[in-house]
Structure 1
Amino acid sequence: MELVDALRTHRLVAIVRGTDPSSVLDSVRTLVREGVTLVEVSLTSTDALDVLAGARAALGPDAPLGAGTVLSADDARAAHRAGADFVVTPAVCEGIRAARQLGLPVLAGAMTPSEVVEAVRLGAEAVKLFPASDAGGPAYLRALLGPFPEVPFVPVGGVDTAAARTYLACGAVAVGVGSPLIGDAADGGSSDALRLRARAFLETVATKGDDQ
């Protein structure tokens, strides 16, 4: 898949992490039905690889499906076998190189300028600014875009709808959202509430007037 094009088009990556495998899978299905195209399942979820395989079967071969919290080469290989077609890392790590060797595009976690350079050098297509809220928020993103104007940044961490709007206006290609979007749905909570949150985030990222 063309990860950067997908990020620029959809502007939202849903990060699903939970303790109840059936609820994690249901959350993925619910998000996709609501129109959230880019979804990642964190490998820290219970039975994450089985969930990924189930999601791939449910969504079909052409739907984008990501594996998150990929750290090692083994993680990347396992995610690939389970059906992921892009990976997301929390840091600059071995998983980046291994995923690229498998032909999987990578959204690599980085925080400092040196980490951004290294992530790109290892082959990451885009950089996940993480944890964005602790790094300094939108002001820090603006600072990074000075020396790295061509790097596609995706802020992750503490991104609610208001923050998403601000990050996109500051030049982020997309935002990654976990708990402010998923809530407790992946742990057995309400799917109806997840639908409402998904609609709110989709409305937010579809509003382009603030970032022209």
Structure 2
Amino acid sequence: MIGEARRALPLRTATSRLVVVVRAASAADYEPVLDVLVDAGIRSLELTLTTPGTIERLGSLIERYGADADVGVGTVVDREQLSRTIDAGAHYIVTPITSAELIEQSVTHGVPIIPGGLTPTELFASWSRGASAVKVFPASQVTPGYVKDLRGPFPGIQVVPSGGIDIDGAAEWLEAGAAAVSVGGPLLGDALRGGDLRALRARALRFVTACSQAPRAHRSAVPTRP
């Protein structure tokens, strides 16, 4: 069964329970913001392929930040993108879609993958193929109680909600049993458009604290391979 080859979420992502999605106008804009995020304690960075130049700069970004944080790549939608991302050394992959093909390719290469979906059918399809976790997207369309609803028929499924999650929502999803939360705008604000980096640091510190202090719901054991 493909699910038996499931890779666990990267340790720093699983421990911090917070993924910050960084979507910039250009990959040249990453460093000032990523420097602040990592210094503030962010331990999982999702760089998006909708940011021009991400794959080309991924190797150097992993070299710069990889000792302190997991560097993943999001918005992967086809096999060529996935291959290039894996070859560049991404610590994990995030997709906005449910694709057995992408999951199998990632599992074969031993790279954790978090595919997107919203319905129970989509989410279970990804989980059963060996996804490390499933991304509930857009999370704004459901409530944190959705985690419990999913765990009824799918014990042990690992859920990462994404889309419109603010600091209060992050704590609520984690308390409900989410493996991690994926946040973007509510944390980043206008930092990637020349905004105040001191304000960014303050927001990042608040998110790190909220996620670290959120109670951990009981989870069923899930067999994974490190």
TM over 0.5: yes
* Counterpart secondary structure, 2:114: strand
Residues 1:105 and 2:112 are matched in the alignment: yes
Equivalent in the alignment of 1:24: 30
The answer to whether the 8 A contact 2:8-2:132 is kept is no
Partner residue in 2 for 1:69: 75
Over aligned residue pairs, what C-alpha RMSD do you find? Answer: 2.1
Please, which of 18, 37, 44 is the counterpart of residue 43 of structure 2? 37
Aligned counterparts of 1:61 and 1:11: Cα–Cα separation in 2: 18
CA distance in 2, matches of 1:84, 1:26: 20
Deviations 1:56-89 (A, max 9, x none): 1212467421001111111111112222121011
The number of residues matched between the two structures is 211
Letter aligned with residue 201 of structure 2:
R
**8 A Cα contact 1:36 1:202, kept in partner:** yes
Structure 1: 4+ residue segments shifted above 6 A = none
| Gap runs ≥5 in structure 1 | none
> 5 Å matches for 1:13-162?
13-60=19-66, 63-93=69-99, 94-134=101-141, 136-162=142-168
- Partner amino acid for 1:46? P
State the secondary structure of the residue aligned to 1:40: strand
CA–CA distance in structure 1, aligned partners of residues 106 and 30 of structure 2: 23
TM-score in terms of structure 1 length:
0.90
> 8 Å contact 1:90–1:110 — kept in the other structure?
yes
TM-score, structure 2 length as denominator?
0.85
Look up the match of 1:168. Answer: 174
1:209 deviates by 4.3
CA contact (8 A) 1:111 1:131 kept: yes
Distance in 2 separating the partners of 1:207 and 1:120 = 27
1: CA distance between counterparts of 2:10 and 2:149? 21
Distance 1:188 1:210 in 2: 36
Q: Which amino acid aligns with 2:122?
A: E
Letter in 1 for 2:182: G
Partner amino acid, structure 2, of 1:151: I
Give the match's secondary structure for 1:180.
Answer: helix
Tell me which of 14, 17, 27 is aligned to 1:11: 17
- SS where residue 70 of structure 2 aligns? coil
Contact 1:11 1:175 in 2 (8 A): yes
- CA–CA distance in 2 between the matches of 1:166 and 1:187? 29
Give how far 1:211 is off. 5.2
Taking the aligned partners of 1:2 and 1:140, their CA distance within structure 2 comes to: 22
Partner Cα separation in structure 2 for residue 27 and residue 149 of structure 1:
38
